[in-house]
Structure 1
């Protein structure tokens, strides 16, 4: 007899985890257990197997900068969201939206530069869309819909890449990708209503607006989608 692997998971796997498990098992197929040898760590990035800060930096830089953003920006235009929303998303990812901090960089003088939602932190794109204490719970709630958990990157480009890459295959994955556009676009509209129309922050209303936007897109993008909004 020989060694036999028998993995037992603590819970049922989520759809987005199945691909990772398959890849993990495929990696293990190339290894054999040698009971007489001691276990030791190996840094896969370096041929020597030895870790160094320099090699770690290069690996991180390749993943986060490399071809990731350029490739995903190309994907942005293929996702079939309304043109004005795609342009908005492109500006957000490039940090080209007129947030208060971006206006300050252009030497535009405002009375204050605080986030209109929390009124505590200066309004950068990363804070406004993802890390504001009023906004981050909306992202957490939407993650719970697809049984996902994770830490949100601060920069819009990295957040976009993480969201798009984290989508599962098939229809649900495509909807999850569209959701990023619906929610960020609704956040920006809500922000503008507060600044220019003296509205007040209403998280539930913001979320309902984003859900309605996604529903309206699905009616056009999915041939067999016929659910009434109240049923969806």
Structure 2
């Protein structure tokens, strides 16, 4: 919030109908709200990826995407609330961008590619907390952040193909597409980055 940045004031959310113990221990819905407020700064704005990718990341973080459960909550009739990838769980931000088997494979492949600890919490907030806890310098963290945003973009693109163009769906190629698009976006926006495609495929963190 602006008051936190310009006047160094502290802003706290107000909760109704919550247990006092949740407020004292910052657990449950209260803890989740405080964590979300804190990790807004980590989400931030990443100059290594296009504006559209940053905006999508912000919308995903705040659950402002036109997902099936969100449409139903707005009173819009949809044929199904199930995730179009797996058809097993309701389509929410945390599911389609993380916990769904299709998305989870992408995150596991990213961890193996970059030689990083596996993500244990595939929720949107959980992925950002994972990023914040990595023992890497700020430059590497910014690169990983750019890859996370790129992954969300490619997952959304693949999801829309499944919904609107099922005959050309390429959900099994999400990770390959991620590496291609993120390489193009990040290397073209970082004038000091001379990493080659071969180095990128191996592990871009090794040359930073």
Q: What does residue 182 of structure 1 align with?
A: 150
TM-score (norm 2): 0.73
Whether 1:149 and 2:148 are equivalent positions in the alignment is no
Which 5+ residue runs of structure 2 have no aligned equivalent? 1-19, 201-208
> How far apart are 1:192 and its partner, in Å?
0.7
Whether the 8 Å CA contact 1:102–1:124 is kept in 2: the answer is: yes
Whether 1:195 and 2:163 are equivalent positions in the alignment is yes
Closer/same/farther in 2, CA of residues 152 and 129 from structure 1, 3 Å limit: same
Equivalent of residue 161 in structure 1, options 128, 145, 149? 128
Aligned partners of 2:99 and 2:24: how far apart in 1? 25
Which 5+ residue runs of structure 1 have no aligned equivalent? 1-52
1:1-232, aligned counterparts within 5 Å?
54=21, 58-60=25-27, 64-66=32-34, 68-80=35-47, 81-144=49-112, 145-154=114-123, 156=124, 158-167=125-134, 168-198=136-166, 199-203=168-172, 205-229=173-197, 232=200
TM-score (norm 1): 0.66
- Aligned residue-pair number: 176
Give the number of the structure whose residues are more often helix, by fraction. Answer: 2
**Higher relative CO (CA 8 A, sep ≥ 6), structure 1 or 2?**
2
Aligned partners of 1:209 and 1:141: how far apart in 2? 12
Higher radius of gyration, 1 or 2: 1
Aligned partners of 1:173 and 1:74: how far apart in 2? 13
Whether the 8 Å CA contact 2:154–2:178 is kept in 1: the answer is: yes
SS in 2 for 1:65: helix
Aligned partners of 1:213 and 1:166: how far apart in 2? 26
SS in 1 for 2:102: coil
SS in 2 for 1:175: helix
Aligned partners of 1:230 and 1:86: how far apart in 2? 26
> How far apart are 1:101 and its partner, in Å?
0.8
Q: Deviations over 1:4-37 (max 9, x none)?
A: xxxxxxxxxxxxxxxxxxxxxxxxxxxxxxxxxx
Mean Cα displacement is larger for which, 135-144 or 87-96?
135-144
